[in-house]
Amino acid sequence: MGGDAREARSALTQALQLGRYPAATDTLARLLDMDPRAAEDSEVHSDVVELSMRVMLQPGNDADRVFDMITTKMGTTGIDILYELVTTHGGARAAARAEDVLKDPGVRARGTPALRIAYDFRVTRACDQKKALFGRAKTDGDRRTWGQLQQVNRRCGRRSPGCCFENDPDLRAALDAIDARMK
């Protein structure tokens, strides 16, 4: 990041800390104009998540602006942020909004293959349809899909309702392939 981008990054954090969400929204827009890849930085990423949570509770159109920037100006990182909101902030207004945005296949298409398989696996309910996703999970899955596959694998031992793929070679192959990529 150049000097101006570093200043904008600092101003974004400061505006968030002071609860000045309209200023934070404006600063985020300036930052993304200066550095379209800014959200790849872990601190900016965290600030974007925080801002999206906060603006959903405020009057005005800042929420629309922030979600538009996440969806259209942050590339695959923005789509990852939407998924993060859905999976880690359930029940929050921002999570519900992110879920609505991710329902759009055009938005998901701008995500990485890893994001798309994680999302597809998350929303698929039928066991046979989940099993049909194991091949894509093996090829494209990341830690998000790995966690979901582990949940499906563990259900077998708990005698709870749901899919049971105990000793399924396709599930094991997907888990092993993702595990190897995570190392």
177 pLDDT above the threshold of 60 = yes
What count of Cα atoms within 13 Å lies in the side-chain half-sphere of residue 3? 0
| Distance of alpha carbon 18 from alpha carbon 182, whole angstroms | 37
157 pLDDT above the threshold of 70 = no
Give the model's pLDDT for residue 1. Answer: 47
Give the model's pLDDT for residue 2. Answer: 55
Residue 84: DSSP 8-state: H
CA distances from 61 to 21, 31, 64, 120 (A): 11, 19, 5, 30
| Distance of alpha carbon 137 from alpha carbon 177, whole angstroms | 9
For residue range 65-76, what is the model confidence (pLDDT) as tens digits?
999 999 999 999
CA distances from 158 to 109, 111, 124, 149, 172 (A): 35, 34, 21, 15, 18
Q: What percent of the chain has pLDDT over 90?
A: 81
CB 166 within 8 A of CB 156: yes
| Distance of alpha carbon 155 from alpha carbon 86, whole angstroms | 22
pLDDT tier, 161 (very low <50, low <70, confident <90, very high otherwise):
low
The helix, strand and coil proportions of the chain, stated in percent and rounded to the nearest 5, come to 75, 0, 25
Give the model's pLDDT for residue 156. Answer: 61
pTM: 0.91
Give the model's pLDDT for residue 159. Answer: 53
